[in-house]
């Protein structure tokens, strides 16, 4: 159970069963939480604009207003509300897009209670930490600072979102943005892992050094923090740079990077082209800078990527990978790890030799091939292993940070697939375990899905195996066991018919009577009179 802290939580899913199950899971894990259920994003947003909410768990696909539209609106209107995205395996691209809208975590369908608990604990910890940090400052000082900074950030973000009229609120300060200029999007990383500095990440002192250099290079800049990635070590900021051409900025940043690299200070920057009126074209410029920053994927040592130099690359198609996909399929089928590693390396080499296309195309092409290969293992390995593989692929590809890492992730996942597919599962033991479980829980919910989850196998696969052993379809076999138990209880006990029905898993005694009569052509009472032992 999670710590007793009072938080308000919204669960949004258009599927009533999914919504109610998740709501009940949260209530059991967090009795002190107030949990509200909504069937679409519009219902959620209507609540948010009226009263504060701490956490929103939202599905992607919903009617009226979907999850992506909701979190886009929330990122600006409700910056303090933590967003947890609920996603299916095949929707991992949506999860990547959600990064810019401050999604802090995600749950992958189908999820287990333990996964919900882990995510809620993490988000609750973040909320508590933020609250503690705020309470440590003078209340009025904090409010004043936050109000002033928030006002400036909102105004600048409005300009970046395509509202140049925002300048009129303070033309003395922001009027310079009506001059020509450029937008740069800066990216850097921070983080410590196991007391060792993570590769190409910055310490607090190094961040301070970087910001001093940037401020010195661009004294007229306006700095606007942008949403973090799922990877909390990644930071981004938009720089509105009036009276600076893209060429000048590129030269300054490239020189700055070269100097800072000597002190192991690494950053990446995407640049728009030069705009005649920066305020009027800020939204377009930010989009260009975002597209260019994506090329950090190829450069682990930092880089500056200019729209003027690189925009033609956007149209280069990704190389076909079908031949590698076929060979990787054979490697997995043959449990040949060496062949698999060689194929992944060959695929990587072939892509390096090609002209660099837009990074997201490469990432999507490679990850789609690997996930497709993993999905072919469904029903061939245990459900637990299958879920683990797809969960890993979803998370690892969503957080993939570089071209080299893309192929290391692919080798890791395919290696796991080969390991799992090479294992011989003792199927008779699994079937016997199912039968034992069913017989011990005849008074409980014995849906095929529940029993399959108990032994970590796909329901269809398990149903087939049970039929091989028992000669009966799953539902018929369970009914047979329940009727046999009912007969024993009728003969050996004085329990009422309603009580016997409950012990046999029937909550409706009338339905139990109908099933019993259909099976034995007499009622339970008549059976008891004919067979009772005393």
- 66-82 tens-digit pLDDT: 998 898 878 766 778 99
Which CATH number, 3.40.50.2300, 3.40.50.1820, 3.40.50.150, 3.40.50.300, labels domain 8-135? 3.40.50.2300
CA distance 38 to 200: 42
Least reliable range by pLDDT among 113-122, 397-406, 446-455: 446-455
Report, at the CATH architecture level, how domain 143-310 is classified. 2-Layer Sandwich (3.30)
CA distance 318 to 323: 14
Least reliable range by pLDDT among 81-85, 196-200, 241-245, 326-330: 196-200
Q: Of 151-155, 200-204, 253-257, 426-430, where does the model show the most confidence?
A: 253-257
Q: Which pLDDT value is given to residue 92?
A: 59
Q: How many CB atoms neighbour CB 90 within 10 A?
A: 12
Q: Which pLDDT value is given to residue 277?
A: 95
Answer yes or no: is pLDDT of 470 > 50.
yes
* Secondary structure (H, E, C), 440-476: HCCCCCCCHHHHHHHHCCCHHHHHHHHHHHHCCCHHH
Nearest to 189 by CA among 178, 205, 176, 203: 203
Q: Which pLDDT value is given to residue 303?
A: 96
Q: Which pLDDT value is given to residue 194?
A: 37
Residues present in the chain in total: 534
Q: Which pLDDT value is given to residue 425?
A: 46
Domain chopping of the chain, boundaries: 8-135, 143-310, 322-421, 427-531
Tokens of 248: 């000048």
Q: Which pLDDT value is given to residue 195?
A: 36
Q: E strands within 82-180?
A: 82-87, 103-108
Residue pLDDT, tens place only, 181-220: 999 999 999 864 433 345 578 888 888 889 888 887 888 8
CA distance 253 to 267: 10
DSSP-based three-state secondary structure for 87: strand
Give the sheet arrangement for strand 234-242, strand by strand: 222-226, 234-242, 181-189, 268-271, 303-306
CA distance 389 to 88: 14
Answer yes or no: is pLDDT of 519 > 70.
yes
Q: How many CB atoms neighbour CB 341 within 10 A?
A: 16
Mean pLDDT over 346-357 rounds to 85
* Secondary structure (H, E, C), 386-425: HHHHHHHHHHHHHCCCCHHHHHHHHHHHHHHHHHHHCCCC
Residue pLDDT, tens place only, 24-83: 999 999 999 999 999 999 999 888 866 789 999 999 889 999 998 898 878 766 778 999
Q: DSSP H helical segments within 265-336, as ranges?
A: 282-293, 307-310, 322-333
Q: What is the pTM of this model?
A: 0.57
Residue pLDDT, tens place only, 253-271: 999 999 899 888 999 999 9
% of residues, the chain, pLDDT over 90: 45
% of residues, the chain, pLDDT over 70: 89
Nearest to 295 by CA among 307, 286, 277: 307
Mean pLDDT over 271-287 rounds to 95
Nearest to 87 by CA among 63, 119, 59: 59
Q: How many CA atoms lie within 13 A of 383 on its CB side?
A: 18
CA distance 323 to 344: 12
Which CATH number, 1.10.10.60, 1.10.3720.10, 1.50.40.10, 3.40.50.300, labels domain 427-531? 1.10.10.60
């Amino acid at each position: 159970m999670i710590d007793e802290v009072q938080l308000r939580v919204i669960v949004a899913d258009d599927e009533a069963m999914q919504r109610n199950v998740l709501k009940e899971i949260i209530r059991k894990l967090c009795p002190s939480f107030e949990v509200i259920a909504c069937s679409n994003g519009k219902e959620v947003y209507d609540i948010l604009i009226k009263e504060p909410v701490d956490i929103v768990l939202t599905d992607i696909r919903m009617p009226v207003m979907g999850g992506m539209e909701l979190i886009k609106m929330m990122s600006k209107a409700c910056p303090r509300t933590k967003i947890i995205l609920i996603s299916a395996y095949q929707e991992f691209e949506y999860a990547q897009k959600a990064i810019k809208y401050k999604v802090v975590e995600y749950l992958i369908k189908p999820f287990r209670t333990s996964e919900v608990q882990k995510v809620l604990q993490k988000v609750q910890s973040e909320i508590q930490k933020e609250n503690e940090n705020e309470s440590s400052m003078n209340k009025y000082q904090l409010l004043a600072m936050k109000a002033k900074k928030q006002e400036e950030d909102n105004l600048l973000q409005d300009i970046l979102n395509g509202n140049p009229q925002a300048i009129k609120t303070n033309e003395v300060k922001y009027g310079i943005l009506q001059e020509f200029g450029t937008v740069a999007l800066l990216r850097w990383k921070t983080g410590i892992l196991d007391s060792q500095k993570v590769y190409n990440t910055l310490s607090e002192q190094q961040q301070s050094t970087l910001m001093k250099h940037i401020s010195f290079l661009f004294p007229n800049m306006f700095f606007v923090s942008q949403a973090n990635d799922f990877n909390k070590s990644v930071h981004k900021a938009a720089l509105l740079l009036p009276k600076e051409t893209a060429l000048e900025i590129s030269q300054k940043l490239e020189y700055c990077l070269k100097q800072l690299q000597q002190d192991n200070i690494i950053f990446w920057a995407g640049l728009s082209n030069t705009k005649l009126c920066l305020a009027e074209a800020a939204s377009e410029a930010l989009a260009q800078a975002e597209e260019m920053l994506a090329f950090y994927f190829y450069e682990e040592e930092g880089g500056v990527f200019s729209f003027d130099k690189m925009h033609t690359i956007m149209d280069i198609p990704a190389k076909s990978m079908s031949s590698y996909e076929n060979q990787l399929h054979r490697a997995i089928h043959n449990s040949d790890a060496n062949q698999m590693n060689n194929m992944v390396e060959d695929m990587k080499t072939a892509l390096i030799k090609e002209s660099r296309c837009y990074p997201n195309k490469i990432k999507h092409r490679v990850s789609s091939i690997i996930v497709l290969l993993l999905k072919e293992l469904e029903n061939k390995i245990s459900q637990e292993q299958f879920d683990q593989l797809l969960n890993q692929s979803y998370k690892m590809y969503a957080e993939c940070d570089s071209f080299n890492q893309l192929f290391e992730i692919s080798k890791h996942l395919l290696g796991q697939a080969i390991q799992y597919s090479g294992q011989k599962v003792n199927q008779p033991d699994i079937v016997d375990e199912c039968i034992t479980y069913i017989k011990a829980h005849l008074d409980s919910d014995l849906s095929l899905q529940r029993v399959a989850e108990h032994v970590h196998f796909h329901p269809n696969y398990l149903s087939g195996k049970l039929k091989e052993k028992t000669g009966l379809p799953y539902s018929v076999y369970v009914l047979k066991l329940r009727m046999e138990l009912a007969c024993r209880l009728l003969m050996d006990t004085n329990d009422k018919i309603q009580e016997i029905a409950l012990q046999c898993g029937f909550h409706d005694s009338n339905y139990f009577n109908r099933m019993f009569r259909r099976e034995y052509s007499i009622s339970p009472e008549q059976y008891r009179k004919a067979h009772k032992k005393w």
